Chain A
Amino acid sequence: MDILKTKQGIHKSRGGLIRSFVSLENGKIKEITISGDFFLFPEDAVFKILDNLKGTPASREEIHKNIEETYEQENIQSPGTSPSDFTESIMKALEA
């Protein structure tokens, strides 16, 4: 994905800034990447979040549910940032 040519969604959580870049195919997430100054433990679980989102229908509910599931599976902690914050950033990218 050429992220500099992709519209970005920006959302600020209490824990930091989340910038999302998303492309769609048939109403589902095709490619997604995130950049930001938030904190998330374990750090490499962010790639699980992104991988699991691929193929997810581009609705707030589905995206939120998908991220929450990865949080549980990977035992993610992210002080000041929640699955809702990631969802909000992604929705802003989709609406941009």
Chain B
Amino acid sequence: MEEWRFIDFGLVDIRDMMAMDEAILKGDGGNTFFFWTPKKSIILGYFQKAEVELNLAQCRDYTITRRISGGGIAFSDDRCRQINYGVVGTIDNELFPLDIIDSYKQICGILIDTLVHYGLNAAFRPINDVVVESRKISGNAQTRWEGKLLQNGTLLLDFDIEEMLRISNIPKEKFMDKKIASIREGLTWLDRELGEQRDMEEVKEIMKQKFKERFRVRLKPGMLSEKEKELTEALLPKYYSPEWIYR
């Protein structure tokens, strides 16, 4: 059985995490599945302009950075009840289809299997969402580099919608075709769906289990290689720089 590296980065500063994320994609560590939980922060998608998408006056307490993949803002309030994951894999086998939407669907299957484990009616909603009863519970973003893919995503355990609406400028057009009246009806999170708080470590264990089952691999705990650490050091200034964040 194939062996993949597994890393749990724990609670992190997203600027450091985004540098490590890119370093894992461009490094020599091989196929990797990893977790992290972001401290209070906002991550802009590659194509988003901060002054357009954010209400910057309301964002002063937030750490802001940008990622190398597209998609929308990833927002984390100070409750920090989110499981973020990353998958770095080679696109040369049946695990990761070349077709972008097929590969999203394949990796999002880990989240769906996890939610189904908790008795929820979860489904993939193309391009990149996982929904429970048509409410988004997980957003995902993928990029590709030299025959490898990097997919990041989040599983919301708790979420402060009102705070997200305060910090962002989401136009009404965003929801017009989703048959929902507003973002308030369009999002959900695990604590709400289950009516109780689950231990985050327990949910992560289920996700790891579902990952192993879906991809039929073993997960071996590991850490960044020397090359990945060097790459991270080299990438850190970018993720901290206004030129990258506010470009």
Known A33-B49, A79-B127; judge A39-B141 contact (CB<8 A): yes
Contact of B29 with A by CB under 8 A: no
Shortest Cβ distance from residue A34 to the other chain B in the assembled complex, whole angstroms? 7
Across the interface, do B51 and A12 meet the contact criterion of CB distance under 8 Å?
no
Interface residues on A, range: 20 to 34
* Number of CB contacts from chain A to chain B under 8 A: 76
* Contacting residue for A11 out of B53, B141, B144, B173, CB 8 A: B173
What sequence of 0s and 1s flags, for each residue 42-56 of chain A, a beta carbon within 8 Å of any chain B beta carbon? 110010000000000
- Counting chain B residues whose Cβ lies within 8 A of the other chain, the interface size class is 20 to 34
Residues of chain B contacted by A4 (CB below 8 angstroms): 51-52
Complex CA distance for A34 and B48, rounded to whole angstroms: 8
Query: Dominant SS at the B interface?
Result: loop
Residues of B within 8 A of A36 (CB): 45, 47-48
Give A40 to B70 CA distance when docked, in angstroms.
Answer: 7
Q: List 6 additional A-B contacts (Cβ < 8 Å) besides A37-B72, A39-B128.
A: A12-B173, A34-B47, A36-B48, A43-B68, A79-B101, A79-B127
A-B pairs, 4 with minimum CB distance:
A37-B72, A35-B49, A39-B70, A35-B52
